[in-house]
Amino acid sequence: MCGIIGYTGPRKAAPILIEGLKRLEYRGYDSAGIGVGCDGALTICKKVGKIKDLREAVPDDLDGCYGIGHTRWATHGGVTDVNAHPHTDTTGNLAIAHNGIIENYLILKARLEAEGITFRTETDSEVIAHLIAQHYEGDLEAAVRKALPLLKGTYGIVCLHKGNPQLIIGARSGSPLVVGVGEDEMFLASDVTAVLAHTKQVVYLEDGEVVVLTEKDFHITDLNERKISKTIDEISWELEEIEKGDFKHYMVKEIYEQPEAIERACRGRLDPTQATARLGGLNLSPAQLLDVERIRIIAAGTSYYAGLVGSYLIEQLARIPCQAELASEVRYRNPIVERNTLHFAVSQSGETADTLYAMRELQRKGSCVLGICNVVGSTIARESNGGVYIHSGPEIAVASTKAFSSQVTAFYLFCLLMARKRHMSYETGEWFLQELTVIPEAVKAVLKTEPVIKKLAKKYAGYKDFLFLGRGINYPVALEGALKLKEIAYIHAEGYSAAEIKHGPIALINEETPSMFLVPDDRLREKVISNMKEVKARRGKLIAVVGEGDDEIREIADDVIEVPRVHTLFSPFVMVVPLQLFAYHCAVLLGRDVDQPRNLAKSVTVE
């Protein structure tokens, strides 16, 4: 959530800042602003609405070769021009932009007001500007250093002062910041996508670090002013990957990228000679893997549902007790870390606050925590004890799609690795690899059903309530389908195990509440059919996702979506895609902002 961009160099800053903010739109925001320094003056422009609204508010002749920008997602104070960032001190000489939450801001604000400071916004962030200004005596870095220890909470801060031209200061504690190293110009951003058009050379800040940027150089120190040497990383993404191309929205583009994303997650990790998987990034020896007695998966949102799929698979094939848990609950219940328990922290961005804090708590108690992330260099990737990059490429739409499939793929690879180390035979390992390698083509076949799904969306987009129901390994897929419809179409939807329908949800069934059933050809099929008939008997509308040629279900359901027949254990890959497309087309028909749904952010970096 929220986005930061900073620039200092020889070029005009305003166009670069606005372009960077445009690249950060996917993170979610409700207002935006920039601050540009030039010839001893500081100009602030900020506006509620989209980046295009900000662009119209910025004068075409705004000069200045250094500046900062921000996209705000309101937490403290309403969505107004005044509450938008950057914020300034009372003199207007200093400006800051801030991601995160200052937990003690009320105490700080009361103290500052008692000292005669007048506040102009309702935000927690404004206290930062005033604190830095109080300590400013010509040295901006020194002023920032004196202010930081007074702050409690999370922050990614970027700051400039008209008395220090071409100088930008950044600091991080719990909210990501990355330095972009260009040729005779420097960038600072909350995400590499903001700088990718200008440089692929980046340096990731850690918590407790302060960076000083000039137009040609940077240096990083800790809060005690000790210099920190950093490795410059190379971004592997291409600029074209963060463009929509011929697609109307990023979300549908990313849905269509799933076959390639699954292949990329598998690339170089399949070992057909040993009928197993290779995951060198786990940083665990064969003996340590054999010692694992339990597995716990911590995650939030879509990543949690991917973890649920993984837990079903690991227990069934690797025969290791496995449980997926919401990261937000793990940290605060004083978790018990059992001996020989392996934890996974799953996050597309690698910056999800709940998951990151839960991971740190588990590590503090002695647990080995492996990360499953998409963003190279993200905090979870750096701080975990090892892990798996899913290599999905950039996912821009707020609603995650291809990352879900890639995270699930990572769990399939890990499951195969663990199962082959234990009791799975070579022949079964061969079968598993064969089934996995056909999945990308199967997903491509599902995508060809989009015209059918689009027609169904036209039929059902007007309904206000939905139920999504599945059993076994497809129960998490039902949860994910309901989440997608809520996220982007703003239609109330609930996901349940089909077995639970008699335990309460059946009371919701009527002609106005359609039910989406996932019905693979497995041992629970007849039980799901019984649940469908119970819904039908109560005049509920039935939509079913089934294997090709399933005539029995066609006689029961009002509408059917056919997907390729794959083994039940691999059915989540093909079952989830129709639910993604259904949610997408409902949202489009209802005129929703598909890529930036209201109140949501791509990377939830605060609790």
Which whole number is the average pLDDT over 561-572? 96
Same fold? 3-235, 445-594: no
Query: In the prediction, which pLDDT does 605 show?
Result: 55
**Catalytic residue check, 368:** no
Res. 1 pLDDT band, cuts 50 70 90: low
Beta bridge partners of 495: 468
Q: Give the lowest-confidence range in 273-287, 295-309, 373-387, 481-495.
A: 373-387
- Measured in whole angstroms, the distance separating CA 283 from the mean position of its chain's CA atoms is 24
**Can you list the pairs that 422-429 forms with residues at least 24 positions away whose Cβ atoms lie under 8 Å?**
422/290, 422/318, 422/319, 422/320, 423/319, 424/317, 424/318, 426/274, 426/275, 427/275, 428/275, 429/274, 429/275, 429/276
- Give CA torsion, residues 120, 123, 129, 131, to 10 deg: 100
Res. 35 pLDDT band, cuts 50 70 90: very high
**Rounded to whole angstroms, how far apart are CA atoms 416 and 285?**
16
Query: In the prediction, which pLDDT does 26 show?
Result: 73
Look at residue 230 and tell me whether its pLDDT is greater than 60: yes
Higher pLDDT, 407 or 394: 407
Res. 179 pLDDT band, cuts 50 70 90: very high
Residue 38: phi and psi, rounded to 5, are -160, 125
Query: In the prediction, which pLDDT does 490 show?
Result: 97
Look at residue 233 and tell me whether its pLDDT is greater than 90: no
For 3-235, CATH gives 3.60.20.10
> For 42-76, how does the pLDDT look when each residue is reduced to its tens digit (9 = 90+)?
999 999 999 999 999 999 889 999 999 999 988 88
Q: What fold is seen in the domain 445-594?
A: Rossmann fold (3.40.50)
C-alpha triplet 244, 199, 68: angle, nearest 5°? 85
> For 539-562, how does the pLDDT look when each residue is reduced to its tens digit (9 = 90+)?
889 999 999 988 899 989 999 999
pLDDT over 70 percentage in the chain: 98
Q: Where are the domains of the chain?
A: 3-235, 238-437, 445-594
Which whole number is the average pLDDT over 246-259? 94
Q: Which of 22, 50, 200, 602 is catalytic?
A: 602
Which whole number is the average pLDDT over 484-497? 96
Query: In the prediction, which pLDDT does 376 show?
Result: 81
Tokens coding 136:
């400013």
Query: In the prediction, which pLDDT does 576 show?
Result: 98
Which whole number is the average pLDDT over 586-602? 88
3-state secondary structure 365-385: CCCEEEEEECCCCCHHHHHCC
Higher pLDDT, 68 or 233: 68
Tokens coding 228:
């920190």
Q: Which of 2, 38, 65, 415 is catalytic?
A: 2
Q: Please, where are the H alpha helices in 9-163?
A: 13-23, 51-57, 105-114, 126-135, 140-147
Look at residue 606 and tell me whether its pLDDT is greater than 60: no
Look at residue 127 and tell me whether its pLDDT is greater than 90: yes
Look at residue 444 and tell me whether its pLDDT is greater than 70: yes
* The CATH number fitting domain 238-437, selected from 3.30.413.10, 3.20.20.70, 3.40.50.10490, 3.40.718.10: 3.40.50.10490
**Catalytic residue check, 2:** yes
Look at residue 602 and tell me whether its pLDDT is greater than 70: no
Which whole number is the average pLDDT over 260-265? 95
Query: In the prediction, which pLDDT does 60 show?
Result: 87
pLDDT over 90 percentage in the chain: 76
DSSP 217-271: -EEEEETT--EE--PPEE----GGGGS-TT-SSHHHHHHHTHHHHHHHHHTTTEE
**Contact (Cβ atoms closer than 8 angstroms) between residue 228 and residue 222:** yes
Res. 23 pLDDT band, cuts 50 70 90: confident
Look at residue 27 and tell me whether its pLDDT is greater than 80: no
**Contact (Cβ atoms closer than 8 angstroms) between residue 334 and residue 309:** no
Res. 242 pLDDT band, cuts 50 70 90: confident
Higher pLDDT, 317 or 73: 317
Which whole number is the average pLDDT over 378-394? 90
3-class SS of residue 324 = strand
**Rounded to whole angstroms, how far apart are CA atoms 444 and 455?**
19
Res. 607 pLDDT band, cuts 50 70 90: low
pTM, to two decimals: 0.82
